[in-house]
Chain A
Amino acid sequence: MKMRAALLGAVAVMGLAPAAFAERGTDGEVKLTFPQAVSIMNPYLTGGTKDIYASSMVLEPLVGLDPQGVMVPKLVTEIPTKENGGISEDMTSITWKLIPDLKWSDGTPVTADDAVFTWQYCTHPEGGCSQATKFEGIASVEAVDPQTIKVTFNGPKANPYTAFVSALSPVLQKKQFEACLGAAAPTCTDANNMPIGTGPFKVTGFTVNDTVSMAMNENYRDPAKPAFASAVIKGGGDAEGSARAVMETGEFDYAWNTQIPPDTQASMLAAGKGQFVVAFGTLVERIEMNMTDPSAELPEGERATAKHPHPILSDIKVRTALSMAIDRSVLVEVGYGAGGKPTCNVIPAPDDWASDNTACLTQDMEGAKKLLDEAGWTDSDGDGIRDKDGKKLHLLYQSTVNPIRQDFQALVKDWWTELGVEVELKAIDPGVFFGGDPGSPDTFQKFYADVEMYANNSDSPDPEVYLGQYQCKNAPSPETQWQGENINRFCNPDYDKLYAELGGVTDVAKRQEIAKKLNDMVTKDSMVVVPLVHRGTLSAHSNSLGGVQINAWDSEMWNVADWFRVK
């Protein structure tokens, strides 16, 4: 694959480049551009990736994740484990040890109190903290001494590495945010825009939804880093404009999220100024099958609920046939190029966690037709559309307004039409589709359609939380105001049982095995979720920027302290 080669090339360049032994602040300015501008620098008050990535250059968690999804200490001396005594035998507490003499960028010492405060800040009931899940199940966070943080859980916790891990959950400075607890959180404009952190840079200027100006942090723990004396993140425009500013005009060093059509990628690459890098996380573009009947004839309140199983899609043979008719490699070629690869998994990465499920990768139109015949769907009146018991095989296929998704819808419609399925397409404004408004009929949770397409991912390499979505209890329904992540209303007691088991297993290999099984249960065993494309985040960096290690598990700027100017 072309992208592999490019990536290997990038690695080779990095390997050959003189390591950055340079002194701090000798390489001038590094310029980044994001297609979506940064709104706020406090990751706890935003869900936007742009904001989280930008703030990761300033605020740091105790540990980060490397490109393989492996934890690397940032503010702590080592990763606590059962073996080194950092995790209690009964799995109910974890103890972190701060690096000695650690300082905030304003020169004051970092202490365990700051971590305790951060926990209070995010768990305050009126604060509206967007990362509250990271602190779920925590009974208390205490400062044992200024260097020691002890996190106690409500019960045994199989994965204790959630709070203070990765850019989603950094440590805030107590002194700066003390007055910003709860309802006051949004009003602390200065603190939210210019937080004091421990990262390699500190904010010197912030214009909302436009530019973040940063200077190197004089108090950064590694005296030789960062190589750049200043950094700037310019936001706005579109993916193509961002990519062009790096790849063609060379105005910027790094562009995050440059999702552009494959042919444009190729022509920009030809300019020879930079290269694309792809972070493959767990983002999967998929078709979700509705297991309940979305018919408008049903009374409101019963429509698309477990009361009425789907008249067509409840049959696994139909679901399987629909999946078999799709040629996933064509989808990748059309929509993503180097930024995607075909997949049959809901959990496609990291490798150790991904099932070896590849059966769906080859299209099998004949096999699909045979399956539908077997299921009793035949074209009895010769109009090219299959029917059964006088009912046509008709599906409403919805997605969001997005050029790639509309291409996908058209392609899939062609294949399914060839199969003898009548397909009706619908595209919904993303703000409405993902908006979650219980009053709107067009949200993805309400699922007033037969199949729908979107992308979703796990925000950590360990997919436990993510797999939890498919439990019976998480099905959206009128009783839950249509909230809930089990979009398909998939309900399999075996799945729920196995999932519950996962919560108690601490052995990583065992966890991986269970995760793969759960993955298979919703994909190849039941075909409730039909994965299409494993999507990466395409970013671009100029050839003169060294040290970039693209990372899907943490901020892409996770190692910005190591970036340097190639001379």
Chain B
Amino acid sequence: MLTFTLRRLLLAIPTLLVISLVIFLLVDLAPGSPMSEIPLTVPPETRQKMIEALGADQPVFVRYFLWLRQFFWVEPAYVIDHWFGTSWAEGEQRILSWQSRSPVFTIIGQRLPQTMIVIGTAYLVGILIALPIGIYSAYRQYSLFDQGGTLFAMIGFSVPTFFSGTLFIIIFAVWLGWFPTKYDTTLNVTDWDSFLKQIRQMALPVMTLGLANAATISRYMRSSMLDNMTQDYVRTARAKGMTERIVVLKHVLRNSLIPVVTVIALGIPSIFGGAIITENLFGVNGIGAALIGAIHASDLPMVQTLAFIFAVLIVLFNLIADILYGFLDPRIRYD
């Protein structure tokens, strides 16, 4: 297993380098200019000066190698300096956002907690809702409950989050007034009151995303359960005279979870990627909102860095999913 992991990690390095170049070229070729948000009242000469100040007029390969150096050398060095008080990164330019002129990693650092908390919770809530629905739907296939579960999943799949989110806002914020519509990033959870406040402001985005997540995962769970339920070993368990609870929860469920766990693991990078629409709608300043803002403003360093981190996470979680699979399913061994 260890050699397998190491081999895969080594293989990932050239892959990621190629990915980073492809992303860089794609992002660079995308139409748009960092100046497109500047009002027309700013004259062309000034615009040109501003572009030069950003370094955006440099040839693409110069910028790519600068970025590589910054990403793989300056930023880690900066972190090391920060921890151990060394001065490796002294005088080195960190990756700066064109839009805000702040270091990209500072922005990511500011935003990651919200994304993790809100989107992560939504993912968790989605899973917690999805598993029982999927399990029971499969166990009582074609029952009223199963039909209801199917309807729920269809809605979750097909209703876009900007629609469900807006609907939730109108119902829960405008009519009922239970929850705020805008996420307050400055809120510090220090006591019971502020904790409740945090829960309330998370309610709407978590609901919106949780619904979408639950829909997908419940379907996976259901079909995986159905696959296993008709297997001979389940019949064996029944023949053994095991109670129905043990048959379903121990035999069927444990085997059905293998592919579901993999799907869940593969979905984790998307937590980091945030939820562009939901974050924007509820003012959650997460990674997704940062990405879309950066794309609109043609903030190349920001888009490039985020996209690359995203690629790294995808590669990483693919590996983790594989390892998990081997861990959960004794039939699979990587040697």
Contacts and interface: CB of A to CB of B under 8 A. Distances in A.
A128 B110 contact: no
A236 B49 contact: no
Given A213-B186, A245-B181, A251-B181, A39 B44 contact: no
A480 to B, nearest CB: 8
Given A47-B38, A237-B282, A251-B180, A189 B53 contact: no
B32 A211 contact: no
Interface in A440-494: 440, 442, 456-459, 465-466, 480, 483-485
A131 B182 CA distance: 33
B185 to A, nearest CB: 5
A51 to B, nearest CB: 9
A208 B97 contact: yes
A295 B311 CA distance: 43
A134 B32 CA distance: 27
A128 B181 contact: no
A356 interface: no
Interface residues of B, number: 57
Contacts of B107: 208-209
B100 to A, nearest CB: 4
A285 B285 CA distance: 32
B38 A209 contact: no
A72 B316 CA distance: 60
A430 B173 CA distance: 33
A56 B46 CA distance: 22
Interface in A31-70: 33, 37, 39-40, 45-49
B87 interface: no
Contacts of B41: 456-459, 465-466
Contact of A37 (B48, B281, B285): B285
Contacts of B110: 207-208, 210
Given A129-B49, A245-B181, A429 B31 contact: yes
Contacts of A232: 186
B96 interface: yes
A232 B187 CA distance: 12
A45 B47 contact: no
A37 B114 CA distance: 16
A235 B185 CA distance: 11
Interface string B306-318: 0000000000000
A207 B49 contact: no
A435 interface: yes
Main secondary structure of the interface of A (DSSP, over half): loop
A234 B93 contact: no
Interface residues on A, range: 35 or more
A193 interface: yes
Interface stretch (B6-14, B133-141, B242-250, B290-298): B290-298
A209 B100 contact: yes
A503 to B, nearest CB: 16
Interface string B176-190: 010011101110000
B283 A125 contact: no
Contact of A193 (B39, B102, B296): B102
B186 A128 contact: no
A39 B169 contact: no
Contacts of A432: 31-32, 36
Given A186-B53, A440-B31, A234 B184 contact: yes
Contacts of A127: 49, 53
Contacts of A208: 97, 100, 102, 106-107, 110
Interface in B20-69: 31-33, 35-54
Contacts of B42: 47, 130-131, 133
Nearest to A460: B41
B101 interface: yes
Contacts of A126: 52-53
Interface of B: 31-33, 35-54, 93, 96-97, 99-103, 106-107, 110-111, 169, 173-174, 177, 180-182, 184-186, 279-283, 285, 289-290, 293, 296-298
Q: Which 3 A-B pairs have the closest CB atoms?
A: A128-B53, A47-B38, A431-B32
28 contacts: A40-B100, A47-B50, A126-B52, A126-B53, A128-B50, A132-B46, A189-B103, A208-B102, A208-B107, A209-B99, A209-B107, A210-B185, A210-B289, A211-B184, A237-B182, A237-B283, A241-B281, A241-B283, A248-B174, A251-B182, A252-B182, A271-B174, A436-B35, A436-B36, A437-B32, A458-B41, A459-B41, A480-B44
